[in-house]
């Protein structure tokens, strides 16, 4: 066996480091053989002019062009949501097949390798050019190779076999060319090249000269080369002379691939049919666990795939070793609708999952392959609500990109996709669409019933993200509310009555068990103006009519509680009647004791019967315990304790409740002066809270709101001038230190 390394010139060039390592050779992005035509990547035939029918009420306006950037009005919507709370939606989908999808042997690469080999060997390119242009014939071959080195003659033999100049092969061998010589890049001898180029006479001649039909000098056998070149005629000759279809490649790029793998890579349909007829194993796995069927689906070679599936005992749902992907997964990931259709016709299961629990529908939606998504749903009965390992549905995957998301969302929803499905972070597709600033997708999802009040595990509502990222989409929320108000005529009625129907399902369907939580979200996110919508106003009116009696009862109970607290503070603390009745007057100032010594029937009764004050406090404690139970039960109505404490009325009520136990006499059998101050503030807070409750009544709401607004503005004014007031106070204390004594 002779190779280029046997020649001293090649030795020198290797040692100088001028030979390029084949493993580092530039990959060709869809290389094809000389005798094949590459299949184009399928385009998705969907109507790009389809606009959102719900963006405008006028049908004629549906065909209008998008407004220019000069027509937009920008508004300040606050900061964006925290980046740390944004789900990494791409993490589950940005994975591609690790298998090498390029054809390593094609006409151009072989030609480049031979020319490069001649150049590195200091040979004459003119020899190869003359053979290719047929200037060199059998008659002038001896003259053309006069003075040629042994290496040039060997390369000329390779070139002649590659260019189908089979009539020159015998003469070149007579001049000293060796049939077992091969080019160093991929180990291709004259037989390899003749088989690749489809040179029947050359292949027969070289076999007659004793060439090994199963020789693998470096990467490939001659039968592999015939498959890469889509040369079924030379493949038949090789098979008839003992070539084995089970021979595997030894390429660093495509290791342990069968001749079927090579034929599928080159889309050599005739060779695929030949090899399957000769008994090639269609389930043969290469090093990454891909069979020829997987490879055909991954490359989108539909005709090859159809031929392979005609073989007996084919497991069409077999998974790859690395990512556990079926052929349908691979075809869906690349968007090859023809391959998916063939697989589904053969009984492929469209609901099988890969190593990340993703179905082919996840991958097709992520690839924005509308036709594939539609086919999987219609023909494959794919479940649009299956979640992956992160609980993300195909609808989550569809909103990852903007190109064709709205079409895919439409088809998924039409087949029953849940628009409110949450992933492991609590994000719905509406969250993802808003985070990616896909306004059209946001509007589609809202139109189809997506819950704008849905919260993630981080407490972020979809409405909050929409307000910051796509504020223009808020108009769709109003449109949804508008569509819930309809007029119905009664033609049978004599006076032509018109019935106004209000559909509250849009408000109530996501609010169980709290009917008001939908509207509360608008308040929390600063969209209070939406509450003025007639549907919201009507709902609030009906809600108030339903709960008014309970609210008034609660308000009366609060009034009794505050009144009881006030009576206890006035009798036991303010007038010091409890200590006086217990004969504890020696430690109290005289002016305080006199308050309970006035000649009055009530004062006389309290002095002589201190147990009345004790019973009064115990009654207050009973009322307070009922208030505690009500407040504890009210905590369940808030998502978090933090949100519960963010409401001032809750803090005020708990402060008043705690003060009841602070101002008690039960601990030491008497009261103290500092308890008077605590009781005074408790009474003030109690009546203030009662005022706020009264302010929620429609009759008094505007007046209390005006008062609280004025108090807020006054507090701001006082805060602004507080430094000046403190400065004047300290200055007067320094300048007039004896003013108090003089007075």
Span 120-171, pLDDT tens digits: 988 898 999 999 998 988 888 888 888 889 999 999 999 999 999 999 999 9
**Comparing C-alpha atoms, which of 617, 628, 600 is closest to residue 566?**
617
Q: What does the pLDDT look like over 177-220, one tens digit per residue?
A: 999 999 998 899 999 999 999 999 999 999 999 999 999 998 89
Q: Cα–Cα distance between 345 and 298 in angstroms, integer?
A: 17
- 635-664 pLDDT, tens per residue? 887 777 887 888 888 899 999 999 999 988
Residue 486's H or E segment, with its range, is strand 485-489
pLDDT for the residue 322: 83
For residue 182, the surrounding DSSP H or E stretch is: strand 182-183
Say if pTM beats, i.e. exceeds, 0.75.
no
> In angstroms, rounded to a whole number, what is the distance separating the alpha carbons of residues 200 and 180?
18
Rounded to 10 degrees, the C-alpha dihedral 564/567/572/575 comes to 170
End-to-end CA distance of the chain: 126
Name the H helices within 302-422: 302-309, 327-334, 337-345, 360-366, 370-378, 394-398, 405-414
pLDDT band at 47 (very low <50, low <70, confident <90, very high): very low
How far is the C-alpha of 203 from the C-alpha of 164, rounded, in Å?
10
247: which 2 tokens?
């021979």
Q: Are 581 and 613 in contact (CB under 8 A)?
A: yes
CA distance 404 to 211: 56
CA nearest 196: which of 247, 165, 232, 144? 232
CA distance 512 to 95: 39
Listed range (371-385, 584-598, 720-734) with the worst mean pLDDT: 584-598
Tokens of 537: 């106003």
Cα–Cα distance, 133 to 159 (Å, whole number)? 12
Say how many C-beta atoms besides its own lie within 10 A of residue 252's C-beta. Answer: 13
Are 481 and 506 in contact by the 8 Å Cβ rule? The answer is yes
- Angle between helix axes 405-414 and 370-378 (nearest 10 degrees) is 10
Residue-range domains of the chain with CATH? 315-418 (1.25.40.20), 485-529 (no CATH), 538-699 (no CATH)
**What is the C-alpha separation between 148 and 124, in angstroms, rounded?**
9
From residue 457, give the alpha-carbon distance in Å to each of 40, 426, 705.
44, 5, 34
Q: How far apart are CA 397 and CA 365, in angstroms?
A: 6
For residue 654, what are its two tokens? 């708990």
Q: What angle do CA 261, 263, 268 make, to 5 degrees?
A: 150
Whole-Å CA distances, 163 to 35, 130, 190, 571, 742: 13, 11, 11, 118, 124
Q: Which of the four pLDDT bands, split at 50, 70 and 90, describes residue 62? A: very low
**Least confidently predicted of 78-92, 296-310, 608-622, 729-743:** 78-92
Strands 498-502, 188-189: parallel, antiparallel or unpaired by DSSP? unpaired
Q: How many C-beta atoms lie closer than 10 Å to residue 45's C-beta? A: 9
* Least trusted range by pLDDT, from 15-29, 323-337, 428-442, 634-648: 15-29
319 token code pair:
């998974």
On whether the CB atoms of residues 396 and 436 are closer than 8 A, the answer is no
Report whether pLDDT(26) > 70: no
CA distances from 38 to 199, 296, 687 (A): 22, 13, 84
DSSP assignment letter at 457? T
Which phi and psi angles does 489 have, rounded to 5°?
Answer: -90, 150
Q: Are 4 and 199 in contact (CB under 8 A)?
A: no
Let me know: does 226 contact 194? Beta carbons within 8 Å: no
- Return the axis-axis angle of helices 648-662 and 534-568, rounded to nearest 10°: 20
Q: Three-state DSSP class for 499?
A: strand
To the nearest 10 degrees (0 to 180), the angle between helices 337-345 and 370-378 is 10
Q: What is the DSSP secondary-structure string of 213-267?
A: TT--SSS--HHHHHHHTT-HHHHHHHHHTT--TT---B-SSSBT--HHHHHHHTT
DSSP secondary structure letters along 345-370? HTT--TT---TTS--HHHHHHHTT-H
- Rounded Cα distance between 722 and 733, Å, is 17
- Listed in sequence order, the residues at least 6 apart from 511 whose beta carbon sits closer than 8 Å to its beta carbon are 453, 517, 518
Average pLDDT, integer, range 94-121: 74
Alpha helices in 98-140 (DSSP H): 107-120, 125-132
β-partners of residue 183 are: 188
User: Does residue 40 have a pLDDT over 60?
Assistant: no
**pLDDT band at residue 606, thresholds of 50, 70 and 90?**
low
**Do residues 206 and 190 lie in contact, with contact meaning Cβ atoms separated by under 8 Å?**
yes
Name which of 413, 357, 417 is nearest 390 in CA terms: 357
Q: What is the average pLDDT value for the chain, to the nearest integer?
A: 80
Q: How confident is the model at residue 351 (pLDDT cuts 50, 70, 90)?
A: very high
What integer pLDDT is reported at residue 361 of this predicted model? 95
Q: Is the pLDDT of residue 254 over 60?
A: yes
Q: Is the pLDDT of residue 621 over 60?
A: yes
What pLDDT is stored for residue 414 in this prediction?
93
Residue by residue, DSSP assigns 267-294 as T-HHHHHHHHHTT--TT---TTS--HHH
Pair of tokens at residue 300: 């989108």
Compute and round to an integer the Cα radius of gyration of the chain: 44
Neighbours of 699 (CB within 10 A): 7
Q: Where are the alpha helices (DSSP H) in 427-576?
A: 429-435, 439-447, 462-469, 474-483, 505-508, 517-524, 534-568
| Cα–Cα dist 585/604, whole Å | 15
pLDDT at 96 over 50: no
Percentage of the chain exceeding pLDDT 90: 41
Residue 450: DSSP 8-state: -
Residue 364: both structure tokens together: 């097709």
Query: Buried b vs exposed e over 722-739: b needs ≥16 C-beta within 10 Å?
Result: eeeeeeeeeeeeeeeeee
Q: Which two tokens stand for residue 421?
A: 């499905």
* Separation in Å, CA 53 to CA 45, 60, 167, 269, 440: 20, 10, 70, 46, 11
pLDDT exceeds cutoff 60 at 399:
yes
Q: Parallel, antiparallel, or unpaired: how do β-strands 498-502 and 485-489 relate? A: antiparallel
Judge contact between 333 and 287, C-beta under 8 A: no
Give the model's pLDDT for residue 177.
92
- Dihedral, CA atoms, 505, 511, 516, 517, nearest 10 degrees? -130
């Amino acid at each position: 066996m002779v190779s280029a390394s046997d020649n001293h010139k090649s030795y020198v060039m290797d040692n100088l480091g001028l030979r390029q390592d084949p493993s580092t050779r530039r990959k060709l992005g869809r290389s094809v053989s000389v005798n094949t035509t590459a299949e184009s990547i399928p385009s998705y035939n969907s109507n790009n002019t389809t606009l959102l029918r719900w963006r405008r009420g006028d049908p004629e306006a549906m065909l209008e062009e998008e407004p220019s950037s000069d027509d937009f009005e920008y508004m300040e919507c606050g900061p964006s949501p925290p980046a740390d709370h944004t789900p990494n939606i791409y993490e589950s989908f940005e994975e591609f097949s690790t298998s090498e999808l390029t054809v390593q042997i094609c006409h151009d690469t072989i030609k480049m390798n031979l020319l490069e080999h001649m150049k590195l060997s200091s040979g004459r390119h003119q020899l190869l050019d003359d053979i290719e242009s047929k200037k060199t014939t059998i008659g002038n071959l001896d003259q053309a190779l006069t003075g040629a080195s042994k290496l040039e003659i060997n390369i000329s033999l390779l070139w002649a076999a590659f260019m189908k100049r089979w009539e020159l092969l015998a003469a070149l061998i007579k001049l000293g060319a060796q049939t077992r010589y091969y080019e160093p890049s991929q180990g291709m001898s004259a037989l390899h090249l003749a088989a690749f180029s489809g040179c029947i006479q050359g292949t027969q001649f070289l076999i007659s000269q004793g060439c090994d039909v199963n020789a693998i000098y470096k990467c490939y056998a001659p039968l592999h080369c015939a498959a890469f070149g889509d040369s079924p005629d030379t493949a038949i000759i090789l098979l008839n002379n003992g070539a084995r279809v089970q021979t595997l490649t030894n390429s660093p790029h495509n290791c342990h691939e069968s001749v079927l793998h090579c034929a599928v890579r080159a889309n050599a349909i005739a060779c695929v049919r030949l090899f399957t007829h000769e008994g090639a194993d269609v389930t043969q796995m290469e090093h990454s666990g891909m069979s020829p069927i997987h490879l055909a689906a991954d490359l989108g070679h539909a005709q090859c795939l159809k031929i392979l599936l005609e073989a007996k005992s084919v497991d069409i749902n077999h998974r790859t070793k690395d990512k556990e992907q079926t052929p349908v997964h691979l075809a869906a990931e690349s968007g090859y609708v023809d391959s998916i259709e063939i697989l589904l016709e053969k009984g492929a299961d469209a609901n099988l999952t890969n190593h990340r629990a993703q179905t082919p529908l996840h991958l097709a939606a992520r690839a924005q392959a509308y036709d594939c998504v539609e086919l999987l749903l219609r023909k494959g009965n794919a479940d649009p609500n299956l979640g992956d390992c992160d609980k993300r549905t195909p609808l989550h995957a569809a909103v990852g990109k903007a190109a064709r998301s709205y079409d895919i969302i439409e088809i998924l929803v039409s087949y029953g996709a849940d628009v409110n499905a949450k992933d492991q972070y609590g994000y719905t597709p509406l969250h993802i669409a808003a985070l990616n600033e896909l306004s059209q997708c946001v509007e589609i999802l809202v139109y189809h019933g997506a819950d704008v009040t849905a919260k993630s595990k981080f407490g972020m509502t979809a409405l909050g993200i929409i307000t910051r990222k796509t504020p223009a989409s808020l108009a769709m929320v109003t449109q949804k509310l508008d569509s819930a108000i309809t007029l119905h005529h009664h033609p049978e009625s004599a006076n032509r009555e018109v019935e106004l129907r209000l559909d509250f399902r849009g408000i109530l369907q996501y609010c169980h068990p709290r009917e008001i939580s939908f509207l509360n979200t608008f308040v929390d996110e600063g969209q209070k103006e939406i509450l003025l919508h007639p549907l919201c106003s009507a709902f609030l009116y009906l809600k108030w009519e339903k709960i008014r009696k309970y609210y008034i009862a609660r308000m009366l109970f609060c009034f009794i509680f505050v009144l009881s607290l006030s009576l206890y503070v006035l009798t036991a603390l303010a007038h010091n009647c409890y200590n006086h009745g217990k004969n504890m007057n020696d430690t109290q100032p005289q002016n305080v004791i006199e308050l309970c010594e006035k000649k009055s029937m009530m004062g006389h009764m309290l002095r002589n019967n201190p147990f009345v004050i004790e019973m009064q406090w115990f009654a207050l404690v009973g009322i307070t315990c009922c208030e505690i139970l009500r407040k504890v039960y009210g905590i369940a109505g808030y998502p978090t304790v933090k949100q519960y404490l963010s409401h001032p009325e809750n803090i005020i009520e708990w402060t008043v409740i705690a003060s009841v136990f602070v101002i008690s006499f039960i601990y030491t059998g008497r009261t103290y002066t500092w308890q008077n101050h605590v009781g005074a503030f408790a009474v003030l807070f109690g009546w203030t809270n009662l005022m706020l409750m009264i302010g929620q009544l429609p009759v008094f709401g505007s007046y209390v709101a005006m008062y609280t607004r004025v108090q807020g503005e006054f507090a701001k004014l006082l805060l602004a001038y507080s430094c000046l007031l403190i400065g004047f106070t300290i200055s007067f204390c320094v300048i007039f230190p004896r003013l108090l004594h003089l007075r």
